[in-house]
Structure 1
Amino acid sequence: MKILHVAETIKGGIATVLNQLIAYQTKQDTVVLLIPDSQCEHIKNIDKYDCFLFKRTGRNIASFFSLLVSFIRVFCKEKPDIVHLHSSFAGVICRIMLIFLYPFQRTKVVYCPHAFSFLMTTSINKRRLYVFIERLMQIVTNKIICVSQYEYDQSVNYGLSKNKLVMIYNGVPQWNKDLDTVKNPYPINSKINLLFIGRFDYQKGFDILLDSMPNLANCHLTAIGDFVNDEAIINDTNMHKYDNISFKGWMTHQQIIPYLFYCDAVIVPSRWEGFAIVPLEAMSYSKAIIAANTTSLPEVVENGITGYLFSINQRDSLVKLLLQLDKENLKALGENGFYKYKKNFTDANMLNNVELLYKKMKS
């Protein structure tokens, strides 16, 4: 079986999922990738794969056109049995082209939005437009992977066909037990060491975190990531005014491991998520999670059991929560989270479920 994975952007969680899928699938199938040229470093051992690149300078017409043309070329050359589309922009652009290519080459289409656009905090009119597009595009889609129960339920509520939808939780591998010798990267162990991993943008709620930190003398935040879409949130000039925040930029997964291993808690203040990867990675390292009580996050974080939830609509609720944190209590919550991870969110669960989906579609 030949599988073509296509993504308009892969930074962050999509790269984590994609790396696991292709490493697993290449053991028995032929795997082809179409990804942005500016982000290919996020694919591990990329030289091992049949990888095509399109030119991406941002979310603009030129980049979308480059994706469109590249997809046509790769699709016609490789003639895949399954096209697996990742994220909304790849989903729209490539499925439109598949309508025109259908008379010449037919394939099974799997689409995973990694958080539907209509889950965003946005205007009613925009949400209606996103719903219209998704309902229209499902006509040329065999299966749509929802990565959380929340996303599945919302998709049904907005009129997507249950016959097209399947719910498969994201999963992550367990950390290597030999990491006990990894050096602690945190200079101040007397404070609560919080870790944020992801884009510094509106969806990820990074502005909420920035507003809270000046009031938290008991905490130190390490922020791993960078801007992707909303650079107005903070710039290089005022980035250094935060005494209790260390900005690290983007890191490879290997570089992030010591920060995950030694932090006290991972914080996820997102306004919306399909099903975030970072909380799962935190649980796999037995770390407590501080998260907003939005969209799918309560499926991962059980308040007072595997971490704490705060109200996204009450900015002071996060400050009050963080001021009360205790290292020993966070450690206990993290251990609870590890057991939940082992039961529900391993990479084996995700990979086996995707493989079963492919087989059902081909049978």
Structure 2
Amino acid sequence: MRVLHICESVTGGIATYLNELIPHQISIYGIENVKLIVASEQLEELTVPLSIIDTFEQLNRRSVPAQWKMARTYLKGVNEFQPSVVHLHSTFAGFWFRLPLLFTQKKPYKIVYCSHGWAFDMQKPIWVKRLFAFIEKSLLGCTDNVVCISEHDKRSAVSFGIAKEKLKVVRNTVELAEDEILPISLDNDFINYLYVGRFDKQKGFDVLAEAVRLSNNSKFRVYCIGGAVVSNTDTAECFKDPRLIALGWKQKKEVLQYMKGCDGLIVPSRWEGFGLVALEALVCGCPVFHSGAGGLPEILPNSEFSTQLSAPLMSSLLELFEHTTKSSLVSLKQRLNQEFNLTYTMRDLTMLLDGIYKGLN
């Protein structure tokens, strides 16, 4: 088995996914039989061996020439590596790799595609959603299997007419956090919340920032790991509030340290195919407060450790900031550390994908 992973942007959850999946695949197939193509400026987000990575120079969704050049790198990688399976990650990689295949003869390799959250699942006008769905359906003819990252992801695909027989659910998961990763030291005079992800509308960052601004409580902080990727929104103004602290993107170990050190993770997403960061937080003993968008309720059943905030989200966040006590969260973290058990691991995910790959041959 020779597996070629093709990506456009890996920032955020996809980088986590690949960093944990690929070592398992290397152990099964051998390092010479696994390859990854990513943008050169995102290399630092990956912890897999550099010897298995090829890059394209420019990540630019607004430039068709840049995207076409990216697609040419994909095809060059296929010709050189000669994979038995090409595994496509995310909408743009899926589109630009498969589009030329609509006009070519039968390919000598199989294609597995994972959108990591459907574009038509976003909060967009219905005509935009239908356009995205039309494009996805048009590309199904040169796709052997479509991996859905949650049951929600599959239901959404079926509702927009994606052929059910091509859909395979392989839920995301994470590795267990290593015991030697120690919590970051923070000021215990404050309730320390954490946000991890893009500072974009999809992730609900604007709602979080506005809730912080409107709160009358000065005894909490929200540490924000990430940055703007999709939107052009200037977030500098909201970080003038001392309660909202920008940390930029962090390496995986530092993210886990913050998860272990903070009192709760806030996930205010408007759209979320799975919500890998929430599962990472629970593994680190960090309670989660989330919007309930997309696949979040599926992986985070409402409990004392993962609370689905009621609508409207702004009011619920204000309630959280105004009335939650430090002592209640400390007690919650202690119980979470003692009781949480991850039963579905990255090795399970790897074997499910291996079954899909082998089933295509």
Could you state the TM-score of these two structures normalised by the residue count of structure 1? 0.92
Check 1:356–1:267 CA distance in 2 against 1; reply closer, same or farther (3 A cut). same
Map of 1:10 onto structure 2: 10
Unaligned residue ranges in structure 2 (runs of 5+): none
Amino acid at match of 1:243: P
Amino acid at match of 1:15: A
Moved more, 273-282 or 58-67: 58-67
Check 1:341–1:164 CA distance in 2 against 1; reply closer, same or farther (3 A cut). farther
Deviations 1:57-108 (A, max 9, x none): 42122321121111121112222100000000111111112333434x4211
Matches of residues 64-83 of structure 1 in structure 2 within 5 Å?
64-83=67-86
Q: Is the 8 A contact 1:36 1:54 kept in 2?
A: yes
- Is the counterpart of residue 38 in structure 1 residue 41 in structure 2? yes
Q: Is the 8 A contact 1:287 1:330 kept in 2?
A: no
- Is the counterpart of residue 223 in structure 1 residue 205 in structure 2? no
Matches of residues 208-357 of structure 1 in structure 2 within 5 Å?
208-214=207-213, 215=215, 216-235=217-236, 238-311=237-310, 313-331=312-330, 333-334=332-333, 335-336=335-336, 342-344=342-344, 346-357=345-356
- Which of 112, 119, 124 is the matching residue for 1:117? 119
Amino acid at match of 1:220: R
Distance 1:74 1:323 in 2: 53
Check 1:263–1:167 CA distance in 2 against 1; reply closer, same or farther (3 A cut). same
Distance 1:143 1:328 in 2: 48
Moved more, 319-328 or 278-287: 319-328
CA RMSD of aligned residues (A): 1.9
Report the alpha carbon displacement of residue 14 of structure 1 after superposing the two structures with TM.
Answer: 0.4
Q: Is the 8 A contact 1:87 1:113 kept in 2?
A: yes
- Which of 97, 101, 110 is the matching residue for 1:98? 101
Check 1:183–1:106 CA distance in 2 against 1; reply closer, same or farther (3 A cut). closer
Distance 1:184 1:300 in 2: 26
Distance 2:353 2:126 in 1: 33
- Which of 153, 156, 170 is the matching residue for 1:154? 156
Map of 1:88 onto structure 2: 91
Aligned residue for 1:27, secondary structure, equals helix
Check 1:144–1:341 CA distance in 2 against 1; reply closer, same or farther (3 A cut). farther
Q: Is the 8 A contact 1:271 1:292 kept in 2?
A: yes
Distance 2:77 2:313 in 1: 48
Q: Is the 8 A contact 1:269 1:312 kept in 2?
A: no
Report the alpha carbon displacement of residue 183 of structure 1 after superposing the two structures with TM.
Answer: 5.8
Matches of residues 163-178 of structure 1 in structure 2 within 5 Å?
163-178=165-180
Check 1:33–1:100 CA distance in 2 against 1; reply closer, same or farther (3 A cut). farther
Amino acid at match of 1:31: V
Aligned residue for 2:203, secondary structure, equals coil
Check 1:332–1:108 CA distance in 2 against 1; reply closer, same or farther (3 A cut). farther
Report the alpha carbon displacement of residue 138 of structure 1 after superposing the two structures with TM.
Answer: 1.4
- Is the counterpart of residue 191 in structure 1 residue 185 in structure 2? no
Report the alpha carbon displacement of residue 231 of structure 1 after superposing the two structures with TM.
Answer: 2.8
Map of 2:146 onto structure 1: 144
Aligned residue for 1:28, secondary structure, equals helix
Amino acid at match of 1:221: V
Percent identity (aligned): 30
Deviations 1:234-280 (A, max 9, x none): 13xx2442111211101111222221111111111000111111001
Q: Is the 8 A contact 1:306 1:337 kept in 2?
A: no
Distance 1:268 1:241 in 2: 21
